Structure 1
């Protein structure tokens, strides 16, 4: 059997195993270990052990549980709920105002978490019931929460960009800064879509009744204090890191401790809150670790087959593609894989194959990291097997069906494709901030 046929068999076997309902890490890991055993005999079984050792030596991986702990602590202690009340009062008088407030909440949560899961949980449990009670269209608000939560993997401190930085050997600080303006651009485009849609169809996002908007200015100003704690946490975490005071891992520890201190200061640090936060942190962290471990094993087999050279030969020599055509084809492949793989699995399996080629074509790897992450956001929301679709179904109330969730994402996917095209056409949107900060420093 040729190496090309072996590679095709591995990918098709992995896809078929996933369709049986097996967990992602099990499907990837088993296929990788079995393929290694067939190719290299008993020595192939050592690949899983070697992958686990490689995983344990990734010192920056310590940031993963710390960032997850920070996000869940902010959620469980009610600090995120305070933020939503602030947006509710200040923006509820606009058509679609509560949806815009939800997007604002998602941006702030993304800037304190680094994952989409926490944003989805907060949006589905805090914002969604209130939006439905206020008569908002269930399809539109389902899309708002999914699109807003997807910003968690782009806006710093993005865990996905941390993993990309380790694989591409690029500075995480520059990657984080590169994600700031593209993340804000997408948030602006989402908001613009909501405003235009609610202007054309006011019934989709009705304004709050006048009697509920008659809140004294002093009370409104008091609610603004809800944003002070999140801002301080973000500054302590990101500001100290960018200024060079803390390392990446130290920055994540500062964020986790700050969130814990904020919950204590608000008088909400109970044993139940702490226990639930630790339990959720452990569950999500273990899921990530198993996926990375399985993907490392799978990727090692591909690397042993000489897949990097094979892809380079296929794209450049056999098909005769130009640099931009290769880049677009890579992004399309990510979109397809994203319908059945999560971002971590895609990153650890495919990025080591694509990144060397991207660098050899003359593209900036910091910029490409942002493009990859935006593409993952789109893939998260693409039917039939988009990762966010099933997360939303698991967390949403019964009246929101899977078909409602499918219908809700298409306008936001279109908006994200526009955002991806803008960042692709104008790389300075991603590159200006890291270049400005690091050159000046």
Structure 2
């Protein structure tokens, strides 16, 4: 049997296991271990254990639980809710002000957490009820919460970019800075879209009653203090990192410590809260570790088969595709995979094939793997929120009230998905949108 056929059988077996409802890490790991035993005999039984030690030698892995913990403790301590109250008052007079405030809240939450799902959960529990109470259109509400949550895997400290950096062997610091400009660009286009819709049809986003907003400037300034804590934590954490005082791991520890101190200073620290936060952090961190371990084992077998070289020969030599046609084909495959898998699973499944191939293409600029990491995150998030099986669609359905039909949720996401696709097109035409900032800043880690 040819190596190409073996590689195809591995993917087919993995897909079959995923269709039967098996956990992603179990499906990937089982196929990797089984293929290794069949190909290399009993000696391959050490393959999974070797990948465990490889995983534990990645010092940057320590950042994952730190950033996840930081986001959860800020959310559990009610700081996110205080932020939304501030945004409600400061942006209430603007057309679609609550929706715009929700997008801004998501930007700040992204800088606190770095997880799309966590951002959606916070938006759905804090912003969604308030917009419903103000008479906002259901379709607009659903789109705003889902679109805003997509910023979580792009704006630092993005957990997904940390994973990409470890798998692609690229500096996480450069990936973080590469994600800032595209993330802010996408958030700005979301806000412009909301403003236009609210101006054209005020019934979609009724204005907040004047009596609720008419308060002394001193009170507004007091509300603004709600935004000081998370922003101070973010800038203190990243500032030490940028100026070379701390490494990536040390910065994550600074952020986690500051988040805990913030909860204590606000009088919201409790052992119940710390227990809940720790359990959630452990659960999410273990999920990521199992996925990476499975991906490492899968990638080791693929390297041994020479599958990467076979894909490169197929695309470039036999099909004679241009580098940009190859990139577009990769993006389309991500969109299709996103109908069935989450962003992390997509990364660990295709990383052994796509990342080395991107490194060999001549796209006409440097730092191609950094640029592709940003392209990957946006494309996966589009897949994550588009029908028929986008994961976030069903998550939104479970979080929203019963009168939000699946049809409403499906219709709500298309304008935001179109804006995200426009962002990808702009990144392809102007790669410096992502690459300019990391080229200007030298950091550790």
Category of TM-score, reference length = shorter chain: over 0.9
Distance 1:105 1:360, change over 3 A: same
1:395, distance to aligned residue in structure 2 (A): 2.8
Distance 1:140 1:15, change over 3 A: farther
Selected match of 2:428 from 424, 429, 432: 424
Length-normalised TM-score, structure 2: 0.94
| Equivalent residue number for residue 200 of structure 2 | 200
1:391, distance to aligned residue in structure 2 (A): 2.8
| Equivalent residue number for residue 113 of structure 2 | 113
Deviations 1:399-421 (A, max 9, x none): 33333322222221111000111
Gap regions ≥5 residues in structure 2: none
CA distance in 2, matches of 1:433, 1:199: 34
Deviations 1:133-187 (A, max 9, x none): 2111222211211111111111111112222222222222121111111000010
Does structure 2 retain, via aligned residues, the 8 Å contact 1:198–1:204? Answer: yes
CA distance in 2, matches of 1:25, 1:387: 17
Deviations 1:316-363 (A, max 9, x none): 011001111111111212222222222222223322322222222234
Does structure 1 retain, via aligned residues, the 8 Å contact 2:302–2:352? Answer: no
Selected match of 2:397 from 385, 393, 396: 393
Q: Count residues with an aligned counterpart.
A: 439
| Equivalent residue number for residue 2 of structure 1 | 2
CA RMSD of aligned residues (A): 1.7
| Equivalent residue number for residue 46 of structure 1 | 46
Deviations 1:23-43 (A, max 9, x none): 222222222222333323333
1:218, distance to aligned residue in structure 2 (A): 1.8
Of 247-256 and 122-131, more deviation after overlay is shown by 122-131
CA distance in 1, matches of 2:152, 2:82: 19
Does structure 2 retain, via aligned residues, the 8 Å contact 1:153–1:160? Answer: yes
CA distance in 2, matches of 1:165, 1:128: 34
Does structure 2 retain, via aligned residues, the 8 Å contact 1:339–1:379? Answer: yes
Gap regions ≥5 residues in structure 1: none
Distance 1:30 1:398, change over 3 A: farther
Does structure 2 retain, via aligned residues, the 8 Å contact 1:299–1:350? Answer: no
CA distance in 1, matches of 2:10, 2:394: 25
Does structure 2 retain, via aligned residues, the 8 Å contact 1:296–1:349? Answer: no
| Equivalent residue number for residue 270 of structure 2 | 270
CA distance in 2, matches of 1:62, 1:208: 44
CA distance in 1, matches of 2:201, 2:45: 59
Query: What SS does the aligned partner of 2:442 have?
Result: helix
CA distance in 2, matches of 1:33, 1:407: 42
1:209, distance to aligned residue in structure 2 (A): 1.8
Distance 1:152 1:166, change over 3 A: same
CA distance in 1, matches of 2:18, 2:200: 42
Deviations 1:220-244 (A, max 9, x none): 1211111111111001111100111
